[in-house]
A and B are shown apart, each in its own frame.
Chain A
Amino acid sequence: MSETTEAVVPLEPKQTLVDAVRERWNGVRAGDVGSLPIILALIVIAVFFDLKNSHFNDPGNVVNLIIQMAGFTTIGLGVVFVLLLGEIDLSVGYVSGVCGVIAAKFTEPPGTASGWPIHLNGLVAIAAALLAGATIGLFQGAIVVKIGVPSFVVTLAGYLGWAGVVLIVIGNGGTIPIQDKYINGIANDFFSATTGSIVVAVGVAVYAAAQVLRVVQRKRAGLATGSLVVVAAKIIAIAGVSGFITFYIYKPGAVPRGLPYVAVLLAVLISGLSYLATRTRFGRHLYAVGGNAEASLRAGIAVDRVRILGFVIGSTLAALGGVILASRLQSVDTEAGGSTLLLNSIAAAVIGGASLFGGRGHPKNAFYGALVIAGLANGMGLLNLSAGIQELITGLILLAAVTVDSLSRKRLAAAGR
């Protein structure tokens, strides 16, 4: 491999559409499949269930889907951060349960039998639930990082322990109804058509501005900007899809109808966490530690702190997911945080493309994965398939996703030499 004389370190500012496509294709061949399989899967799901059941793509069902998936998507977003470190958190299900219960208990009306002595405003109660989640993450993360107990075991203990806490706190009552308007509003209230349209328009504008700003900055620095056609296509696609969905969910006659608060919350979470993961120093360190902890240590990164913070983020988002789930049911019961919640959350991250081996993944993975899982569950429900069949198929999809991950890892490793 003799040295070539031409300067191949690129400062060429132009990249054509063809270059962009070729580069992406080369990435796929080297094992970096990105979001490609998942987007194909989503299209297949949408078309398949549309053919099988005329109601799957009804506006009302689309709104339902968003509300159904919001809780475990939020938890899945946190799981991505733990997976990026190459760790696992099995406790997120019941941590979300505990924190949902905390929010519910704090907002019980004064005088409730077996109620807590302190009664809080709904927003303060939510903050308390998030704080509890963060504390749990700090506790479990510290045991993993400082003492060196494998995260699998620590969070398995958390899985059992926090399930117990849910049972103890709820006690014999069975169900705690939530009457607080803030908590219930998250998953049950909608923007009016006008406000909803403005919110979506602002969101799209912010996205477009960020994309354009990036291109301008790179141009100014004399760096390659990627294909402008691709950038424009991305903006138009985002604007088109959001515009269409907004129009669609406000169709007269749709039940439920309109943009739920929780959808905006989810969008803000996904963009904020993507920013944290890919545009900040902490995010960069997260990937570095997941990729090569030894190298990170030598580079002066506070590896322990980064890893503990990863667990804190995971548990805090689990807490928020618990509040969202409680909001949707307008109550918590002894089932809070249980059943398939944990597995769906982790499966969302993994099906979406976050690697179980650490160092590879993106918050949007949890969103895509959750869309697949929720879409399947919703569609199979409409087809009146039994719960057994539904779980079997979800399991097969998870297996396929993990297989793709392992294969692409092998190919990436092979391409490295």
Chain B
Amino acid sequence: MLSPMTEPVTTNATATPTLELRGVSKSFGPVQALTEVDFRAFPGEVMALVGDNGACQSTLIKAIAGIHAIDEGDFYFDGARVSIHSARDAAALGIEVVYQDLALCDNLDIVQNMYLGRELVDAFWRLDEATMERRTAETLRSLSVTTIRSIRQNVASLSGGQRQSVAVAKAVMWNSKLVILDEPTAALGVAQTKQVLDLVRRLADQGLSVVLISHNLNDIFAVADRITVLRLGRNSGEYDARTATQQQIVEAITAGIPHGAGAAS
């Protein structure tokens, strides 16, 4: 068995998961999307969430983000049972989602995007540009995002990898504990993919809990600590990325849990 609980190199073997879902089900009318799904994400780790198209990863993510209400099941955040009814609830807990289409405004600059919807103002309702700019620079620097020439340039002029970096930095600037990245490398070239994966790794190394959704197994094995596989809205195993093989994961995605490989729930 490859159960993470028995894995000696896993630093968080006894840690409380940042987020744990137990027996989550969700249907849209007659369509059963999620069936008794268990999921967990540990602090300081990258948890990959994989599955074929239609495996309902995005439904699961939207449930965590508070966009879809679940029908059954429990959420635990830092060990405490919580209920998430809206995006605001999720944000209040420290859950941030970086969606595939990034949700950046091309016509605004990096600082403006980082603070979008949470602008700082001084007296006279005036935007506190100086503080926002300084903190943006600090955040980007702490994440070692160093390829950006000026943080006062419009997001439209950034490369795909830089845009992704800004979107990720925006998510982590708000004292978030859990960052969910939806296909962050889907549209990127080789070098930019590496740039983003390095950033993902740094987030986890800083103690955040990271959930990475991807179809690219190379990316996942490059950066993930654990892998949760969904198949047709059901669990298809949780694997340790250091010991699992690509073959095992592919089988879990396509055919369900292969014998002998470890479902850990």
Contacts and interface: CB of A to CB of B under 8 A. Distances in A.
A290 B129 CA distance: 21
Contact of B141 (A5, A9, A281): A9
B105 A11 contact: no
A218 B152 CA distance: 14
A284 interface: yes
Given A281-B125, A291-B106, A295-B103, A300 B147 contact: no
**Residue among A4, A9, A300 with most chain B CB within 10 A:** A9
Given A1-B192, A3-B147, A288-B108, A298 B103 contact: yes
Contacts of B141: 7, 9
A3 B103 contact: no
A157 B27 CA distance: 44
A50 interface: no
**In which size bucket is the chain A interface?**
35 or more
Contacts of B33: none
B176 to A, nearest CB: 14
A417 B131 contact: no
Interface stretch (B48-56, B153-161, B247-255): B153-161
A280 interface: yes
Interface in A319-339: none
Given A5-B146, A7-B146, A223 B105 contact: no
Interface in B183-240: 191-192, 195, 198
A280 B127 contact: yes
A281 B129 CA distance: 11
A5 B144 CA distance: 9
Interface in A207-222: 217-218, 220-222
A298 to B, nearest CB: 5
Given A7-B141, A417-B160, A360 B104 contact: no
Contacts of A221: 130-131, 133-134
Contact of A280 (B105, B126, B146): B126
16 contacts: A3-B195, A3-B198, A4-B146, A8-B146, A9-B151, A221-B133, A223-B134, A281-B127, A284-B112, A287-B112, A295-B103, A296-B105, A298-B99, A300-B91, A359-B107, A412-B156
